[in-house]
A and B are shown apart, each in its own frame.
Chain A
Amino acid sequence: MKILIVEDEVELLIGISNYLIKENYICELAENFRKADEKLSIYEYDIILLDITLPDGNGLKLLETIKKRQVKSGVIIISAKNSLDDKIKGLDLGADDYISKPFQLSELNSRIRAVLRRRQFDGSSSLYYKEISIDTDSKSVTVNGKEIKTTKKEYDLLLFFLVNKNRVLTKEVIAEHLWDDNIDLADSYDFIYTHLNNIRKKIKSAGGNDYIKTIYGMGYKLSEQ
C-alpha cells in the first residue's frame, strides 16, 4: 500500500512515516503544498494523509485536485484545528476521514485500515491473527474456523487489537477509539475491562488462545509472548 504524507512539521512527518513503514506501507513525504502538488501530478497513492494547514497553501485546495486526478485514493485529513467547519468542508470535498492533532499512531493506523476497507482494496477486508480472523464485510469473527458471536463493542475492540497487533495500547487509547473523545469522562475506563474479559472468554470457549496480554495493569497488547 502506498501512502503520501503531507505535513509541514518535519518531525511529525518522519515520525508518522517511520511508524507506517514498520507497518509495511510504502511512504512518500511532502512537507509543503508545492511538493505535494508535484507528487500528486506524477504518482498514484492508495492513501493520502493531508495536513490542511500548510505554509504555502490550503490543504483543502489540494483535496480538490486529488479528487479530480486520483479518484481511487483515500484521503484522511490531519488538522490542528479541531473545527467542525473544516471537518464538514473536508468531508464534503470527498475526504474519507478526519483526525485531529494530537493523535496516536495506533488510532491513525486503525483509521487508515478502515478507509482501505471501505475503498475495497485487495485483501483489506479480512484480518488474521493466528487462529483468530475477522471478516469486515460480514463483520464476523471466527476462531479456528468457528464463528463466535460478539457485540458491536466487542467486535470493534477486537478489530482494533488485530489492526494494531504487537503494539502496546493504553486503556485511554482504547476508550477513545471506542467512544467519542469529546466527552470529559475521566474515570470511566473500567468498562473496557468488562468487554475485554467477555472477548477473552468467547475466544477461549471456541478453543483459541488468549493473546491479549495485560501490561503492568495500564495497557494491553495482542501478541504471542
Chain B
Amino acid sequence: MKFLTKINRNYFFLLTLILLGVSISGYFIIQAIILNDAKESLLEREFLIEKHILKTGEIPNIYPTVEVKIIDHRITDKPQFKEVEIENELEKELEPFLEYSSQVKIGDWYYSIKLRQSSFERTDLALILALFLFVLLLSAFAMSYLITGKMNKSIWAQFEHNLIEIEKFNFNEKQNLNLKKTDIEEFDRLDKVVTDLTEKLRSDYFSLKEFTENASHEIQTPLSIVLLNLEEVLQQDLNSETFQKVVSSINAIKRLSSLNQSLILLTKIENRQFKAEQVIILNDIVRRKISEFEPFFETKKLKVELNFEQDFKLMINEQLAELLIGNLLANAVNHNLQGGSIHVSVLENKLEIYNTGEANSLTDKTIFNRFAKLNSKSFGLGLAIVKNICETYNLEIHYHKNDFHCFIITSK
C-alpha cells in the first residue's frame, strides 16, 4: 500500500467517526439546549399569566397551549415539566407536547396552570441543525482532503523522482546518483544518507574489483618465472624420478594459472564486462566447436549426433558464446565413457546436449556450483562459467539425468 493511500485511508476512517460523533452528539446537545429554552419560555409565560390574572381577574384559556383552572386547594406546590401527547383536533393525531404544570395562589384563589409547547418544532429544529452541522463538516473535510491531496502530490513528487533514481542505480555505471533537492529536511537527510552510502559502496566495489583483477594478474608474473625456470631444469639430464617431479610441478603451475584465469573470467562475466554487440546464431558456434573437438571425440571413440532444426539466435558476446558451447562440449567429453555418445540438437530458443556417462550424485542444484567436481583433474569451474554466462544473457539452463546426462538451455 502506498504511503499516501495508507494515510488517506486512516484519515477517511477517522473523519467518518468524527463526523458521525459530532453530528449525533450535536443533535442531542441542540435538543437539550432547545428544551432548556422551551422550559424557560414556559416559566416566563406562567409569570405573565399570573400577572394578567392578578390585574384583570380574567382566566386565559387557549387549548392546548394554555389551560388555567381554579382549584379548591393545592395538592402539590412543586411545579413540574413532563412530556405528554395530546390529540390534534385538526388532524386527529396524537402530537407530543412539553407540559408545564403548577399550582399557585393568586390573590385568594388557587389556580392550576398547565402550559404546553409543541415538541415537534424542537425535534425538527435539532434535526435540521444537526444535519446542517454534518454537511458543513463534510464539506470542510472534503475541501481539506482535496487540498492536502494536491499538496501531497507536489511534495511527494520529488521523493518519487529520487526513488526512481535509486531504483535505476547500477554499480557498474560510473554515473553518480542524481537526487533532487526537496526543501523538506527529512527527505533531504534521507537523500544524503543514500547518496553517501552508494558512493561508499561503489568505491568499495570498484576498489575490490580492481584489487581482485590486479592481484590475479600479478600472480601470473611469478608463475611465469617459476614455469620458465622449471622448463629450463627439464632440459637437463635428469633421472626418471626428478623428471617426473619437474613435470608434475610444471603441470601444477599451469593448473594454478588456469584456475586463476578461470576465476578472473568468472568475475568479468559477473561484472558484465563483456559486451554483446551483435546477434549470434548459436548453430554456427556449435558447428565450429564440434569440428574443433573432433580429435577429442576420436580419442574417446565417441559417437556424435547433431540435429539442427532451427536457428537459435541470440544477442550475446561471441567470445562468451564460444566459451559456453566449448565448456559444455568439454564437459560432455570429459565425463563421457569410452565409446559413448553425444547428442546435440538446436531448436529455436533451445539447445540440448545429451551425453552418456557414469552415474553421479550431482543434481540440477549442485552441478553448476563452483568447485563442484567428480574427479580431481578438473577445477569444477567450467559449468559455473556456463551458468554465469546463461544468467548474464537471460538464458535458463537445466540439468537432469536419465539414460543420458542432459543439459538444456532455453531462452526466457
Contact = CB atoms under 8 A, between A and B. Distances in A.
Interface of A: 9, 11-12, 15-16, 18-19, 53, 80-82, 84, 100-106, 153, 167-168, 170, 172, 179-188, 190-191, 194, 215-216, 218-219
Contacts of B381: 184
Nearest to A15: B228
15 contacts: A12-B224, A15-B225, A18-B232, A82-B261, A101-B224, A102-B220, A170-B251, A182-B326, A184-B262, A184-B381, A185-B334, A191-B295, A215-B243, A218-B247, A219-B247
B223 A101 contact: yes
B234 A219 contact: yes
Contacts of A104: 227-228, 231
B221 A101 contact: yes
Shortest 5 CB-CB contacts between residues of A and residues of B: A186-B377, A102-B224, A191-B299, A101-B220, A15-B228
B220 A190 contact: no
Contacts of A179: 292, 295
Contact of A180 (B225, B262, B292, B377): B292
Nearest to A103: B224
Nearest to B265: A82
Contacts of B296: 185, 188, 191
A84 B319 contact: yes
Contacts of A16: 228
A122 to B, nearest CB: 28
A185 B296 CA distance: 9
B105 to A, nearest CB: 121
Nearest to B326: A183
A190 B299 contact: yes
B327 interface: yes
B264 interface: yes
Given A185-B333, A185-B334, A168 B244 contact: no
Contacts of B326: 182-183
B217 A80 contact: yes
Contacts of B220: 80, 100-102
Interface residues of B, number: 47
B253 interface: yes
A218 B243 CA distance: 9
Given A102-B253, A183-B326, A184-B381, A12 B228 contact: yes
Contacts of B223: 101-102
A184 B379 contact: yes
A168 B230 CA distance: 12
Contacts of A153: 295
B345 interface: no
Nearest to A18: B232
B225 A216 contact: no
Nearest to A193: B299
A45 B292 CA distance: 36
B284 interface: no
Contacts of A185: 296, 330, 333-334
Contacts of A167: 235
B131 to A, nearest CB: 80
Contacts of A100: 220
B288 to A, nearest CB: 12
A219 B246 CA distance: 11
A151 to B, nearest CB: 10
A125 to B, nearest CB: 27
A166 to B, nearest CB: 8
B231 A106 contact: yes
B314 to A, nearest CB: 19
Given A105-B228, A187-B334, A168 B234 contact: yes
A102 B227 contact: yes
A9 B244 contact: no
A11 B231 contact: no
Contacts of B73: none
A16 B231 CA distance: 11
B411 interface: no
A153 B300 CA distance: 18
B257 interface: yes
A218 B247 CA distance: 8
B229 interface: yes
A183 B298 CA distance: 17
Given A102-B227, A184-B327, 14 more contacts: A15-B228, A16-B228, A18-B232, A101-B221, A102-B220, A102-B223, A102-B224, A172-B251, A184-B258, A184-B330, A184-B379, A185-B334, A187-B334, A218-B247
A72 B226 CA distance: 33
Contacts of A215: 243
A82 B300 contact: no
B212 interface: no
A146 to B, nearest CB: 27
B222 to A, nearest CB: 8
B80 interface: no
B250 interface: yes
Given A102-B254, A172-B254, A12 B221 contact: yes
B378 interface: yes
Contact of A187 (B240, B253, B327, B377): B377
Nearest to B376: A186
B357 interface: no
B330 A183 contact: yes
B289 to A, nearest CB: 9
Given A101-B221, A187-B334, A188-B333, A216 B327 contact: no
